[in-house]
Amino acid sequence: MRDTTSELLTRSPRAIDVARAAGVSAATVSRAFNEPDKVQPHVRQRVIAAAEALGWLPHGAGSALARRRSLIAGALIPTLANGIFAAHVAALQETFAREGISLIVSVSNHDPAQAMRDVQAMLTRGVEAIAVVGEDFGDAIFDLMTARKVPYVVTHGFSAESRHPTIGIDNFQTFQEITQYLLRLGHRTIGMIAPTQKNNSRVTARVAGVRTALAEMGLAIRPQHFCEGPWSIQFGRESLRAILAADGPRPTAIICGNDQIAFGVLTEAHMQGIAVPEELSIIGFDDDPISAHTTPPLSTVNIDRTLMGQLSAQYLLAQLQGGTPALPPPMTATLIPRGSTGAVHP
């Protein structure tokens, strides 16, 4: 038994309340919003006015149940601590929002088990599609999405060999090109400082790209010139110190897995009184806003992560509309030579 009076004060209005206020049936209210042409203009106006007066908003769960559409999408990302993912999430959110789709964000912290829980939670919320950063979660996650017929796309790296749809740059090729750029500048002793490869096949591809380009010239990274660790400024500094302390010839150029590491290397070079780029060329990856303003300005590689988010969302949206969209071609990364790289000094 309901106390009608108090309920009117308490509960959010339902479509039926709007219907009564407008003197129509609930069906017409639904149509007025979802299939506007199917209801006469003056009726529609009355309905809309009533909805506004009552402050009615459609109830997503009811609607989702009846329509079998949640109007929710999901994004699974390894971390938000790194700014590069933030732009991506923002672009996803905005592109989906234009189509009336809300975005649930989950952060896995690079933990496959957490990622699995995140995906399950998203599926329970009824997400219609999921954008996933990287594909280093184990197969279970992808099998689950496939089984539930939820379209997904792997972002932040294009890979023709992947068994998943991927959108992004070709990490292998991009780092090949970075290496070739340094080779053209005459560098023959090249070091590399990369983020951890574990659970991150993008990094693995990058390292392979460097090694391949070097091998084509009969060169290789000396073990003492290769460092792997966290993508932090601190690690960049430590790594350069280690490299300088090692036996054998010093590298004349260092490829950094991202700009943070490069900042560390640059800073440490300053400290040690090593001239950049005369004695040491440094190149980063990401084109952090600060990179243009370091001294010297950091040479790096720019990726349009907003575009990447848009492409990813559009690809998923096309699938939701029943299409079988073609995967966009690999995105192009732009090498931005600035002051931290130069010809090798004779």
Binding residues for a copy of itself, per CB under 8 A?
12, 55, 57-62, 64-65, 70-72, 79-81, 83, 85-87, 89-90, 93-94, 97, 100, 102-107, 118, 120-126, 144, 147-148, 232-233, 237, 260, 263-264, 267, 270, 289-290, 292-295
Residue 33, interface with DNA (CB under 7 A)?
yes
304 binds, among DNA, a copy of itself, none (CB under 5 to 8 A by kind): none
Say if residue 277 is preceded by a cis peptide, omega within 30 of 0. yes
Q: How far is the CB of 274 from a copy of itself (least distance, A)?
A: 14
Identify the CA nearest to 229 among candidates 260, 253, 208: 260
1 binds, among a copy of itself, DNA, none (CB under 5 to 8 A by kind): none
Amino acid at 21: A
Count the site residues for DNA by CB under 7 A. 32
SS3 249: coil
133 strand-pairing partners? 155
Q: How far is the CB of 8 from a copy of itself (least distance, A)?
A: 13
Residue 29, interface with DNA (CB under 7 A)?
yes
Q: Which two tokens stand for residue 112?
A: 């496959």
Contact track, DNA, 45-64, x by CB under 7 A = -----------x-xx-xxx-
Q: Which H or E run contains 131?
A: strand 130-133
Shorter beta-carbon distance to a copy of itself: residue 239 or 294: 294
- Give the C-alpha separation, 313 to 318, whole Å: 9
Shorter beta-carbon distance to a copy of itself: residue 141 or 183: 141
Residue 43, interface with DNA (CB under 7 A)?
yes
Q: How far is the CB of 37 from DNA (least distance, A)?
A: 7
Q: Which two tokens stand for residue 169?
A: 């740059």
List of residues 6+ apart from 189 with CB closer than 8 A: 222, 225, 249, 250, 251, 252, 253
Q: How far is the CB of 33 from a copy of itself (least distance, A)?
A: 11
List of residues 6+ apart from 8 with CB closer than 8 A: none
